[in-house]
Structure 1
């Protein structure tokens, strides 16, 4: 197994995949593109998963259930949500799940680069906290 941290990207949007590929090629992350939610849940069990990015064109009950399962498995896993549009009901649902960041499509390269800097800082902080605890 590759020890490099992985980012799971649940999307089939070519522009979204392209932006993440461009940003991650400069960083120490593997990009795992998943179109199957069950495979995405399975992949979150990997200790090397550093972040989950979900593209929610249609945020429905199934997507919310998927996110809740992921947060039960890994409560500290940063979750990023990409939207085409959002509603107040969806915002409340996502607040209950503790989403790390949310943004709208089309994605901007500079925004995703800044997002990855934040995720890298979170990973470093969590690693530092684990090292101190033991």
Structure 2
């Protein structure tokens, strides 16, 4: 990474809104189909469209793009919003399997993909509540 990369957000480095949209779509497709994701798929409604839109807005803002999430929902308070779900190592790992696969399929910039993977891994670790 060069000094100029530091000033550029991950949102821009991965390709902006179009990439976030593809990333989230592929993430939920993987969650819907991978046997390894059964444990987390069971935590979601049958229709993933609404939660997909929320994740797109959240990731857009979280990666440095336009403020789409907080203007509607306020502070993310992710742990509080997920407190009703038992999230341990198995759930974190299933989430990361889906996300890593989606990252591989949608983010062509290897350095940006690695940086986003590292950030998402930290977030997934932090979400554990058991």
> TM-score when scaled to structure 2?
0.31
Determine which structure has the larger helix proportion and give its number: 2
Whose strand proportion is higher, 1 or 2? 1
TM-score after normalising by structure 1 = 0.31
